[in-house]
Structure 1
Amino acid sequence: MRKPLTIIAVIIVILVIGGGAAQYLMRNDSGPLGGLGDDKSDQTEETEATEAAPEVPSQPEWCPAYEFISAPGTWESAPDDEPLNPQANSRSFMLSITNPLKETFTEDQVRVWTLPYTAQFKSVQSQQEMSYDDSRNEGRAKLEAELQWLHGECPQTQFILAGFSQGAVIVGDIADEIGGGTGVIPAESVAGVVAIADGRRENGVGINPGVDLGGIGAEIALQPVTGLVQLVVPGASMRGARPNDFGALADRTYQICAPSDSICDAPHNIGNAAERALELIDANGIHAIYASNDNVIPGTTTNQWVVGWASDIINQG
């Protein structure tokens, strides 16, 4: 009795193995019997794979691979300036970055766009000027409009954001929201950010390519006495630190600050609030020499470093 049962069991095993092998061979077109069986399952799988693959958004031929957005500092721009050929201030620090990029790359590689905004800072000494808050808000609205427009037209274009002083605050605020997931474009569309002399700079937030710093941005240091500050600089809110620490952009956001620059390396202690507020107006000599100061990033100047950094990104594209 055992022998017949054993034979039956062997037959069943052979049938199971054979059936499984037959199904495998019929499914596998690349096997020895490929093409002899029904290939509908292959076609179904290929169709599903094709449907599941994300589509790469198309864009017009004129779209650049990158857009470099430059946000000049206080008194270095104007609301009616030409973004593609800025003329508001020929001594603008940001021109020492954007002009070399224009000379090096074609318009297909990078579109260099400079933020046109009022860029003023009302104070007791300059009552006729636009307030810092209004100037900053105007600049932010225009920069975000440019991001939204070009991203809508050219969804594959990557953005490089760069700003100096008041422009650095604008760029930093926008980058913080993009990195936090609430910005006007997705974080994956931003290739890099650099904020130079940012009034909301914090140690350990973003990447510092230069020397170590002990201070913080003036907007953070003076936040506890923002009411007193506005007696000297009306309409200049000291808003403190940014909420997201740049979020998803933290690994490609650079913070550059010269040691003892009162805008971005202010002492932690409040001290004389009125005196500190006046420093915001006058800045100091250090704030004005980023193009020649080789003590910020050892072995180079800030503008040279930014040109090299941006060029590396563009060349990789």
Structure 2
Amino acid sequence: MKRRTRRVAFGLGFLALAALILVVVLVISMLSPTPPPPPGTPTETTAPDHRPKAQPADCPDVLVVSIPGTWESKANDDPYRPTANRNSLMLRVTKALQAKFPRSRAEVYTVPYVAQFRNPTVLTDKQRDYNDSRAQGKRRAAAKLRETHEQCPLTGYVLMGFSQGAVIAGDIASDIGNGRGPIPEADQDLVLGVGLIADGRRESGRQHDVGPSPDGAGAEITLAPFGSLVPGIAMTGSRSGGFGTLEDRTYSICAPGDLICDAPRVTNPLAAIGKLANAAQNPVHALYATTRYWALDGSTATQWMYAWAAGLISDAPRPAHS
């Protein structure tokens, strides 16, 4: 009888020990990190509840929207192979991105718009007014963003621009960051970054000011008190709400002495407008692809912008596709 009791006790003890070991194994497995996926395996994102878990197969992981400066685009240019101005500053960035990433990873879209600035002090100047040019660029860029977001709800975005294009890109970023843009407020996190070179509405300290950065403001800020004194050239002043929730993701490059983004105090608005119209030919404004007036750790503004954008794209989520 005693032998049987001992066998029962031994059996119960063994079961208890086995149960304890099983619990320990389960706890360890729950606390252990998941092993990383093999190289090249797409990583799925955990989308907010209002987004689908996957998007169409032809959607890029990231859309790069680049907006050229004055005289660097045309309304009928090819947004994927722009040729309107082969010396366009932004092409130094976008061509390098297209060479590095397949289109499935990063679709690079260069906004085609008139990109002109009529000088009202020159009666023979037949270019389009700045107001019209800027408005067309913003409409087309916003339409591309809105269309892509509707079709590709998990795609991320990088916005960038130079000069007049920086004003447009910055205005769209401000709209998005303040809940009034082409990307809905609930999806602001999809904007990975905003990069601006020579932004005419720049305000020091309202974004990440990269490298050697002057304390001055953009021409549209310094000329704002004169409003629409000159027909066709409305100086719009500060951006309402700044960059809002995108402030921590917005980066601005401005070379000291660049009249577009580092404008002097204005006493004669008509003379200032004339200088602004010709500022694109100013050597400071025209040489961001060199280290003569702006450099950071030996990099030009375009080299810095490329490295920054490439880093964002490399680190961006890889949405599942259906």
Smaller-chain TM-score bracket? 0.7 to 0.9
| Aligned-residue offset at 1:245 | 1.3
Alpha-carbon distance in structure 2 between the residues aligned to 1:185 and 1:214: 31
Correspondence for 1:242 among 239, 243, 266: 239
| Aligned-residue offset at 1:272 | 2.7
| Aligned-residue offset at 1:214 | 2.2
Alpha-carbon distance in structure 1 between the residues aligned to 2:262 and 2:306: 23
1:257-272 correspondence to structure 2 within 5 Å: 257-267=254-264, 269-272=265-268
Instruction: Give ranges in structure 2 of 5+ residues lacking alignment.
Output: 1-21, 24-47, 317-322
Name the residue aligned to 1:311: 310
Q: Is the 8 A contact 1:218 1:266 kept in 2?
A: yes
Alpha-carbon distance in structure 2 between the residues aligned to 1:288 and 1:212: 17
| Aligned-residue offset at 1:70 | 0.6
1:38-187 correspondence to structure 2 within 5 Å: 56-124=52-120, 125=122, 127-186=125-184, 187=188
The sequence identity of aligned pairs, in percent, is 44
Q: Is the 8 A contact 2:52 2:153 kept in 1?
A: no
Aligned partner of residue 138 in structure 1, secondary structure: helix
| Aligned-residue offset at 1:210 | 1.5
The size of the alignment, in residue pairs, is 263
Alpha-carbon distance in structure 2 between the residues aligned to 1:55 and 1:272: 52
1:172-251 correspondence to structure 2 within 5 Å: 172-186=170-184, 187-228=188-229, 230=230, 234-251=231-248
Alpha-carbon distance in structure 1 between the residues aligned to 2:199 and 2:192: 19
Instruction: Give ranges in structure 1 of 5+ residues lacking alignment.
Output: 1-29, 32-51
Amino acid at match of 1:72: P
Alpha-carbon distance in structure 2 between the residues aligned to 1:144 and 1:55: 21
Q: Is the 8 A contact 2:287 2:293 kept in 1?
A: no
Normalised by the size of structure 2, how large is the TM-score?
0.78
Normalised by the size of structure 1, how large is the TM-score?
0.79
Say what the alpha-carbon RMSD is for the aligned residues.
Answer: 1.7
Q: Is the 8 A contact 1:63 1:108 kept in 2?
A: yes
Q: Is the 8 A contact 2:219 2:260 kept in 1?
A: yes
| Aligned-residue offset at 1:56 | 3.3
Aligned partner of residue 69 in structure 1, secondary structure: strand
Alpha-carbon distance in structure 2 between the residues aligned to 1:192 and 1:163: 12
Which is greater in Rg?
1
| Aligned-residue offset at 1:274 | 2.4
| Aligned-residue offset at 1:123 | 1.8
CA shift digits 1:75-131 (9 cap, x unpaired): 100110011111111010110100111111111110000000001111232542111
Alpha-carbon distance in structure 2 between the residues aligned to 1:297 and 1:314: 23
Q: Is the 8 A contact 1:192 1:253 kept in 2?
A: yes
Alpha-carbon distance in structure 1 between the residues aligned to 2:259 and 2:79: 29
Alpha-carbon distance in structure 2 between the residues aligned to 1:55 and 1:280: 44
CA change 1:53–1:67 in 2 (3 A) is closer
Alpha-carbon distance in structure 1 between the residues aligned to 2:104 and 2:176: 25
Larger RCO (CA within 8 A; separation ≥ 6): 2
| Aligned-residue offset at 1:57 | 4.1
